[in-house]
Homo-oligomer: A and B are copies of this chain.
Amino acid sequence: MDERRDELIEAALQLFSTRSPEDVSIDDVAAKAGASRALVYHYFGGKNELYIAALGSAAKHLSVLLEPPTEGKPLERLRISLKRYFDFVESHAAGYTALLRGGPADRSGEAGEIVDGIRRLLLDRILHSLDVDVPPPILRITLRCWMATVETAGLDWLENRDVSRPDLERLLVDQLVVIMQISGRHDPGTGALFDRLAHEEMSH
C-alpha cells in the first residue's frame, strides 16, 4: 500500500504549496487525497510526521531536479540548474517560504536537518561538477554564500514578484560570475578554477 502513502504525501505537498504548514490540517490532507482521517494517522501517526515526510519527499524531488546537466558550457549548465531550482520554488511556494523565512530559525530539528542536508548535497554536486575534490576555504565560502543568495532571492521573489523570473535568474548567474572572479583574487586555487571555467566558456 505504499502507493496510498505516496498519494497522501502528494496531497499534503499540494496543500503546503499554497498554505503554510500550520494552516493545513490532517482533515484537509485526507479530504484532498479522498482518504479517511484514520488512514493518514495509520501511515504518519500525526501531523508533524506527515510534514517531515512531505518535506523529505520535496527534498528528494529537488535533488533529482538538480542533478547537474553534463552537456554544455559552464554558464549554460548553471542557467539550466537555476531555472530548475526556480521551477521548484514556484511550484512549492508556500512550503518554501514557511521553511526558509526567518532563516532556519522557525524550523524544528528534523526539518532543519533536511534543509541542511539538501544544502550539503547541492554544494557537493557543484564541487563535483567543477572537478574539485577538496575546495579551498575561500571557494567553499563563496559557493555557500552564493547558495544563500539564491535562497534569499527565491524568498524575495515569492514575496514581491516585482522582478521577472528570467531577469532574476540572469542576475544570479551574473553575480556568481563576478564573485567567483573577485574570490579568485583572494585565493590562487579559486583563481585557477575561475580561469579554467572562463577558458571552457570561451572555447568552442
A-to-B contact residues, CB < 8 Å: 99-113, 115-116, 137-138, 140-142, 144-149, 151-153, 156-157, 160, 162-163, 167-168, 170-171, 174-175, 177-179, 181-183, 185-186
Contacts and interface: CB of A to CB of B under 8 A. Distances in A.
Nearest to A112: B102
Contacts of A157: 141
A171 B141 contact: yes
Contact of A102 (B101, B115, B145, B163): B115
A134 to B, nearest CB: 11
26 contacts: A99-B103, A101-B104, A101-B116, A102-B109, A102-B116, A103-B109, A103-B115, A105-B110, A106-B107, A107-B108, A137-B163, A141-B168, A142-B171, A142-B175, A144-B152, A145-B153, A147-B152, A148-B151, A167-B186, A170-B186, A174-B185, A174-B186, A175-B183, A178-B178, A178-B182, A179-B179
A148 B138 CA distance: 17
A175 B171 contact: no
A115 B111 contact: no
Nearest to A185: B174
Contacts of A108: 105, 107
Contacts of A174: 182, 185-186
